[in-house]
Amino acid sequence: MNAIVSNAPVITARGLRKAYRNKLALDGTSFEIGAGKIIGLIGPNGAGKTTALKAVLGLIPFEGELNVLGRDPRTQRDDLMNDVCFIADVAVLPRWIRVSEAIEFVAGVHPRFDRAKCERFLANTQLNPKMRVREMSKGMIVQLHLALVMAIDAKLLVLDEPTLGLDILYRKQFYQRLLEDYFDEQKTIIITTHQVEEIEHILTDVMFIQNGKIVLDATMENLGDRFVEVLLGADRIEEARGLKPIDERSLPFGKTVMLFDNVPQSRLAALGETRIPGLADLFVATMKGTYA
């Protein structure tokens, strides 16, 4: 197996391009992801999120340069998948399979699967070895899927809408267990989801993708330094517009909220009440016009 330099990027992408018929799903996409990161890859429908993940996983042909854990996914996929796990919508588990059979299957195909660890995870659930997938609620299927994946010592975990269709309790439990039972400084997690607010607190970095291009790539810490929202009264609106906000929205009672990028907070504080925007607000402001 190829040796991985510990401080080398987990993923390096340069000029990725992928077209479906007449639409570019990836349009010169470039990014770099280091070890020990939890990355939110966030974009509107059709922005290129899933295509980017499929390229990383070696599931599609593409143009450009892509290195994942020291390997090219196009030519070294079998070797790469020893170090990578992937969860999409949980319905991919066969409905006829029993819990015990799912464990046997993963144990047989993945060299880094720890059966004892998987069984410890399942001991805290209502699942039993004889239960079939068709007898489970969607939340229980997520618990089984996560137990199977977290028992694999993978360096890269890719989650594509992993909690789609689950209620808020299961979604919170899913991400909490991910943090407590799986993540460490040697692992990297990439998450795509439309429930931006729910993953904001666990992310170390975020990438916004729009029309096949990365339009924002920053650490969560850097976002707090760069972006500021200001609540303004009607008498300060024109003055604030002179500082070139990247977004503006009206509130009741004549109030306006403006979003600024890289404007000194001291200048903005003189105009009105300031706060760091939530990731969802920042996303909406960045993606305005997507569906125009």
Q: Decide if pLDDT at 92 tops 80.
A: no
CA distances for 16 relative to 19, 76, 266, angstroms? 10, 18, 40
Question: How many percent of the chain have pLDDT more than 70?
Answer: 95
CA distances from 32 to 8, 37, 205 (A): 10, 11, 11
> So what's the pLDDT on residue 2?
43
Q: Which long-range contacts (CB under 8 A, 24 or more apart) does 182-186 make?
A: 182/149, 182/150, 182/157, 183/38, 184/36, 185/35, 185/36, 186/35, 186/36, 186/155
Q: How confident is the model at residue 91 (pLDDT cuts 50, 70, 90)?
A: low
Mean pLDDT of 30-35: 95
pLDDT tens, position by position, 224-278: 889 999 999 889 999 999 999 999 988 888 889 999 999 998 899 999 999 999 9
Task: State the average pLDDT for the chain.
Answer: 88
Q: Give the CA angle between residues 158, 46, 20 to the nearest 5°.
A: 95
**Which residues, 6 or more positions from 82, have their beta carbon under 8 angstroms from its beta carbon?**
1, 110, 111, 112
Q: Which domains does the chain have, with CATH numbers?
A: 11-211 (3.40.50.300), 222-286 (3.30.70)
d(CA 72, CA 105): 27
Other beta carbons within 10 Å of 238? 9
CA distance 76 to 95: 31
pTM of the predicted model as reported, rounded to 2 decimal places? 0.86
User: What's the pLDDT at 90?
Assistant: 52
